[in-house]
Amino acid sequence: MKPYLSIEKQERLRGIIKNVKGGVSIRTREADGEVFVILKASIGDDSSANGVSRIEFEEKVPLTLQELDAKLNAAGITYQAKWSREREAYDLGNIHVTVDRNAGYGYLAEFEKMIEDGSGAELAKQELKALMATLGCYELDQARLERMFSFYNTHWPEYYGTDKVFTID
């Protein structure tokens, strides 16, 4: 990705990778005609794929999604799964809420607060949980989320781009 990132972004990416605890998840995304490379790194004991406390790096690149995916594949990075969804996004000051209808998962909401570094992660988590409680929402059990993630990764070609939904307890 070096040719597509500023020196500042390259340094930020290096800093994130150095401090990884629970792995790194690399993603690509196309939204509104723009293509992004995304890196999610766990700063806690949970997974980088869908953990609660993560550092995220997202940068627009001047490539098509197919070109970006091909470059990552050429570097030896292969698909774990492809995801499709419809998303509605809401901003509540410094808290972002997205409501997605994901192929396979159905509807789910994500509550997110961006922070500059990991030192504020616990306070951000408490603030998010308070908002969720006010709205009558609850956090999906991480063990169940891992089972759902594993199932989808195994079966994603059956769900990608469809309205089909599965249920995992």
Domain boundary among the residues 55, 80, 105 is at 80
Same structural domain, 74 and 155? no
Domain boundary among the residues 48, 80, 112 is at 80
- For residues 5, 6, 12, 18, the Cα torsion angle rounded to the nearest 10 degrees is 60
Domain count, the chain: 2
Same structural domain, 85 and 33? no
Range of the domain at 133: 81-169
At a CB cut-off of 8 Å and minimum separation 6, what does 66 contact? none
Residue 95 φ/ψ, nearest 5 degrees: -110, 135
Can you give the pLDDT of all 169 residues of the chain as single tens digits?
889 999 999 998 888 888 777 678 889 999 889 999 998 887 766 544 555 567 788 999 999 999 999 999 999 998 889 899 999 999 998 999 999 999 999 999 999 988 776 778 889 989 999 999 999 999 988 899 999 999 999 999 999 999 999 999 8
Q: Within 13 A of 133's CA, how many CA atoms are on the CB side?
A: 6
Place of tokens 């993603």: 27
The neighbouring-strand residues paired with 107 are 101
Same structural domain, 86 and 167? yes
Other Cβ atoms less than 10 A from the Cβ of 81: the count is 15
Same structural domain, 90 and 164? yes
Same structural domain, 164 and 103? yes
| Predicted TM-score of the model (pTM) | 0.74
- Tell me the C-alpha distance between 147 and 159, whole Å: 16
Same structural domain, 169 and 124? yes
